[in-house]
Chain A
Amino acid sequence: MSHPAMIAAPPTLTAPELLLIPGLPLAAFAAILLSGRLAGRAAAWLAVAALAGACGVSLGLGPAVFGGSRLSIGWAWLSAADPRWAVGLAVDGLSWIMLLVVTAIGTMIACYSIGYMHDDKHFPRFFAYLSLFCASMLGLVLADHFLLLYACWELVGLCSYLLISFWFEKPAAAAAGRKAFLTTRIGDTGLLLGILLLAGVPGGLVFSQLPEVARRLPESTVTLISLLIFLGAAGKSAQVPLHVWLPDAMEGPTPVSALIHAATMVAAGVYLVARTLPLFTPDSLQVVLAVGLTTHLLAGTVALTQTDIKRVLAYSTLSQLGLMMAALGIGARSAAVFHLVTHACFKAVLFLAAGSVIHATHEQDLSRLGGLRRAMPWTAALFLLASLSMGGTFLLSGFWSKDAILLAAAASSPWLLWVLLLGAAMTAGYIFRLYLLCFEGEPRHHEERHAHVRPPGPHPAMAGAGGLEAHGGRTGESPAIMVLPMAVLGIGAALVGLVESPWLGHPFLRLLNDPHVHEHIDAGVAVLSTGSLAVGIWLAWVVGVRRRKVLPEALRPLGRRLYQLAANTYYVDECYGRFIIRPFLSVAERLFAFDQRVIDAAVNGVGRLGTTIGALKERFDQLVVDRLVNATAETARGLGLFLRRLQTGVVHQYLLVVIVAVVVLSLALRR
């Protein structure tokens, strides 16, 4: 398992235009947020312009990056003296590749969305979120400091949540958004812990100094840190066991699925691991490899059984992400990143084509689709092109990236090569099954059956044409504003790989400073990979379309049981529900009951104590104090009543009293 070569630090140039790259989409976000309702349709073009601008700036940086220098701009964020907190943006080969991927695909998908979201009443909000997402993703790949990366990481997660639950009135979409956010949150906690551990080390938070940090710390600490970071990457890139959010995330609009959940955001995890690869010790790389392979194979099997277009593509994305992680686990950083790029292109095309189908037919279930090749020729052709590329057809980009991974696997160990070939066969299988069921065969789509087939060709690009059901219920090709971006990306899906071919001098590897350069194609691996592609296509044709049974009679019940298991996604969601969520909720309920019965009772008890004391005092007041007062009054009254008797009103009695008093006094006072 090799690490990327530790070379001397490249010359660093200051490039203030780096701020434009995330800045333009961010400005677009702010502008749309403040004026969206006024702008209406213009909001979309604002977003497209911002992204195109960012793309242009990124392209402009190309020559400098190719020359080997590193562009950056930094500022002292928290403290001018402590270099630990000098945050900044930096571009090296890896970042530049990611920049191009995000901005180019983002621009195309933004154009596509103008057609797709045309009739949506929340049109401006979509483009605001899209711009924010692109801004944060660009910030993420440009960050040269863990803190900035983490901030953008969280922002990206937020945008994913906002966009998945874009149609939040639909309960399924709202639940899916929550699920995505919570699941990636679990991963983010790991990432945060890793960052906190690194913050204690001088220079630990800056990417360019990671190799030194790895050398300085003890190996167990480095393993721990890298595993925590991998936990974050696993959450974001939907590796097993944190993969459950990605299929549900298909509730969001298809452009969102294309951009975020196929091309860019889920690749952020792969990018993070590639970026921090110096921290990964052989032990942690084994973990990465294991997780990646599990995800690759598990998701591949599920993808073979799903009946919803977007679900198949979601599980396909999971599977390819697992492949990228496995490649990183082997140590083939450039192969993994290369596959990231090619996957972004062809997966985006696949999703956009699926969106085109959904937009035209309003159907997502494969059992109600079929034979759409005649009605939507461009979509079908692009889907086929992307499928061939994904399967690994010679000369298309998928072949080159998959081949690079297979070569690295072969160099590492032979059984790994065969496992990956199995995965490749499954990949070809599910994607061609999808193509065949959707575009070939008998049209099961009822509108298609009862109507004329429209002559093929996209509509003229009228602003806001959206012309599908406009012709009396017939399914037709999507408008040009949707087909053109697909076509551009389709060209990319086909040709991007050639960039890396031996005939052009491996510019990719040079960008990533990878010293391993294969001067020629390895014939053996190429033949094997083409063979697995053929196997996959044959299986898809035979089982999916011809519906012939391939298993021998004895194995068929087992086969059926396995099929059911895979079709139910191995019951992972149910397990989580039963063993994690329900206990958690019951604990929460018990705590709530405790809160009500004990704490509230205590508070009420204190209140009741006050009232009881008051009642006691009232009793005391009544029994003692009042009685005292009354007794006093009674005494006075009694005395008065008694003394009253002296007042008889009879003069003689008064006179007698006087005389008696005189006598008594004179006797008493005599000397």
Chain B
Amino acid sequence: MIPVQPLLLLSHALFSLGVYGILTRRNAVGLLLAVELILNAAALNFVLFGRVFAHVQAQAFALFIIALAACEAVVGLAIVLSLSRYAKTVLADHADALKG
């Protein structure tokens, strides 16, 4: 048998760290890292419950997440790159030009 509790705890801890990171990282790349953490936590969750309930789709879904995460990282890094080129900064709170 799989020990659900600890893995669940792990995934939740990863998720929380990710959320904490989103809310506090000033550096945009750090923020992206935190987003990756959240995604991976979600993937871990999926795999866990796939194993517990003997769903194969869970694993497929985890692959989806990995692919999506990759794409999203590309896009995000592209944005950060543009930001760093035009605003000369990578700090997220400096990018407040959309302030209404």
A interface, CB within 8 angstroms of B? 644-652, 655-656, 659
Could you tell me if A652 and B22 are in contact, using CB atoms closer than 8 angstroms? yes
Q: How far is the CB of B41 from chain A (nearest CB, A)?
A: 14
Which residue of A is nearest B99, CB measured?
Answer: A649
Judge whether B1 is part of the interface by a CB distance below 8 angstroms: no
In the bound complex, residues from chain A placing their C-beta under 8 Å from that of B22 are: 652, 655, 659
**Which residues of A have CB within 8 Å of B100?**
644-647, 649
B29 in the interface (beta carbon within 8 A): no
- The stretch among B2-10, B44-52, B62-70, B89-97 that forms the contact with chain A is B89-97
Say yes or no: B19 contacts A659, CB within 8 Å. yes
Min C-beta distance of A99 to chain B, whole Å: 114
From A648, A651, A656, residue with most partner B Cβ within 10 Å: A651
Report which of B19, B24, B28, B96 forms a contact with A650, defined as CB distance below 8 A.
B96
A-B contact pairs, 12 of them (CB 8 A): A645-B100, A646-B100, A649-B96, A649-B98, A650-B92, A650-B93, A650-B99, A651-B28, A651-B31, A652-B22, A652-B24, A659-B19
Interface residues of B in 5-46 (CB under 8 A from A): 19, 22-24, 28, 31
Q: Which residues of B contact A655 (CB under 8 A)?
A: 22-23
Q: A644-B100, A652-B92, A655-B23 provided; 15 other pairs, C-beta below 8 A?
A: A645-B100, A647-B98, A647-B99, A647-B100, A648-B99, A649-B95, A649-B97, A649-B100, A651-B28, A651-B92, A651-B95, A652-B22, A652-B23, A656-B23, A659-B19
* Closest chain A CB from B92 CB (angstroms): 5
Residue of B nearest to A656 (CB): B23
B interface residues, how many (CB within 8 angstroms): 14
Chain A residue at minimum C-beta to C-beta distance from B98: A649
- State which residues 58-100 of B face A: CB under 8 Å: 92-93, 95-100
- Bound complex: CA of A524 vs CA of B28, how far in Å? 158
B93: chain A residues at CB < 8 Å are: 650-652
Looking at the assembled complex, report how far the CB atom of A267 sits from the nearest CB atom of chain B, in whole angstroms.
Answer: 111
Q: State how many angstroms separate the Cβ of A660 from the closest Cβ of chain B.
A: 10
CA distance A629 to B25 in the complex (A): 46
Report the minimal beta-carbon distance from B26 to chain A, rounded to whole angstroms: 8
**Distance between B29 CB and nearest chain A CB, rounded to angstroms:** 13
CB distance from B55 to the nearest CB of A (A): 22
State A644–B98 Cα separation when bound (angstroms): 11
Residues of A with C-beta under 8 A to B97: 649
Q: B96 to chain A: which residues have CB within 8 Å?
A: 648-650
CB nearest neighbor in A for B35:
A655
Distance, CA A655 to CA B30, complexed state (A): 14
